[in-house]
Homo-oligomer: A and B are copies of this chain.
Amino acid sequence: MKIINGTINSPKGFKSAGNFIGIKKQKKDLAIIYSEVDAVTAGVLTLNKVKAACVVRNQEILNSIDKIRAIVINSGNANACTGEEGKQNNVIMAQTLAKSLDIEADKVITASTGVIGVQLDTNIIVEGIKQSAKLLDINQQAGLDAAEAIMTTDTFTKNICVQIEIDKKLVTLSGIAKGSGMIHPNMATMLGFITTDAKVSQSTLNNLLKEIVDDTYNMISVDGDTSTNDMVIVMANGASECSEITENHSQFNKFKEAFYYVNEFLAKQIISDGEGATKFLEVSISGANSKDNAKKLAKSIISSSLVKAAFFGCDANWGRILAAMGYSEADFNPQSVNISFKSEAGLIDLMKNGVPISFDEEIALKILKPKHINILISLSDGNHKAKAWGCDLSYEYVKINGEYRS
């Protein structure tokens, strides 16, 4: 697998655009991803009971057809909790793009992100989509523009492109995503869009996406809040001319590895850009008695406000980690817990078999100063593992979210 300097329109047969149309005050706020031919699609959508108009419509589309042509995304307005009018405006988004590109409206997936409960201005949306469709291009700038246009409080674009060879054909996979608050995905995620020119069977793509989302996006948390608009959508248009990838394909694992890499990369990027984050925290659990328990433990630690605030303060307060494990509802033996912290500055052991180890506070402080911290937890309850990613809780998070609408 090769990581290349590409973006969402790098796989063959894809174009994209990113544009400012006037939903936000001045930043880019509309993105389009377009495949020249029908692309096999799979998606996972938020499990929040309050679903944005786009989520409801996309679910219907994903249930009834397996190929799409385009995705249109606006930022600056989530079009969630907007009732019947919001539902109609969402359909207008799809219809406007379909008309501009001469494709069927039910082959257009929509996504919205931003403030909840405000109606979209249809004049802006209709005119904006028409103009943006004209900008669709295969050049790299058009790809980066799309990555930029889906951002809200993000401070950088999340963008990845990898290449593999399947049947001696070059296959490209790309992804873009946005964070960075209301991030606590539940079987789904924030916004993530993946394109590939691989030919993939629909059921394989579906299964792969569900499995991988569970281990990547569903294992990150910025603030414990699951959004109303979360989604990951993948489009595979087959333009690389490789033979169809199914679970039985001889190079299935190669594709799976690349697909996993793209998704994990985007999930981690979202955490790196968590609202107000000064630390990137990776929790690794090993020795758990089941995969499910390993995941529950990792997720509980990464979601604890007290753990997050301690890392903001570079405080080796491992007791809060054990407390978070304790209320995770996972089954584990507290007497088997080993805890260490690791960073580029070194490694320090804090607990062995459930009993604290006395440690040098100065060394601990030195190890906790860098941005990237590994929290290593081993149990002796079994041989299951899990990882989760999170960020610290900073003054800046409070500031951003105390003032978000203003």
A residues neighboring B (CB under 8 Å)? 47-51, 78, 80-83, 115-118, 181-182, 184, 186, 223-228, 303-306, 309-310, 312-315, 317-320, 322-328, 330, 332, 334, 351, 354-356, 393-395, 397-406
Distance in Å from the Cβ of A315 to the closest Cβ of chain B? 6
Q: Which residue on chain B has the smallest CB distance to residue A85? A: B355
Which of A118, A356, A398, A404 is the most central at the interface, judged by chain B CB atoms within 10 Å of its CB? Answer: A398
CB distance from A395 to the nearest CB of B (A): 5
A208 to chain B minimum Cβ distance, whole angstroms, is: 25
| A interface SS class | loop
A395 contact set on B, CB distance < 8 A: 395, 398-399
Task: Report B-chain residues with C-beta under 8 Å of the C-beta of A50.
Answer: 322-323, 325-326, 334
Interface centre among A181, A322, A326 (most CB of B within 10 A): A326
Q: Please, which residue of chain B has its CB at the minimum distance from the CB of A335?
A: B83
What are the 7 closest A-B residue pairs judged by CB atoms, nearest first?
Answer: A116-B319, A313-B402, A50-B326, A309-B401, A48-B326, A226-B327, A83-B355
Please pick, from B224, B314, B319, the residue contacting A304 in the complex, using a CB distance under 8 A. Answer: B224
B351 adjacent to A117 (CB under 8 Å): yes
User: Whole-angstrom distance between the alpha carbons of A315 and B226 in the complex?
Assistant: 20
Say which residue of B83, B115, B312, B404 sits within 8 Å of A398 (CB atoms). B312
The copy count of this chain in the complex is: 2
Chain B residues near A315 (CB, 8 Å)?
402-406
B322 near A356 (CB under 8 angstroms)?
A: no
B80 to A320, Cβ gap below 8 A?
Answer: no
Cβ-defined contact, A313 with B401, below 8 A: yes
CA distance A340 to B28 in the complex (A): 34
Asked whether A393 lies within 8 Å of B398 as measured between CB atoms, the reply is yes
CB distance from A92 to the nearest CB of B (A): 18
Across the interface, name the chain B residue whose C-beta is closest to A80.
B319
- A-B contacts, 27 of them at CB < 8 A, read A49-B326, A49-B330, A50-B323, A50-B325, A80-B319, A80-B322, A81-B319, A81-B322, A81-B356, A116-B317, A116-B320, A117-B318, A184-B327, A186-B327, A223-B306, A224-B224, A225-B306, A226-B323, A306-B401, A309-B397, A309-B400, A312-B402, A313-B401, A315-B405, A317-B405, A393-B398, A395-B395
Residue from A224, A309, A328, A334 with most neighbouring chain B CB atoms (10 Å)? A309
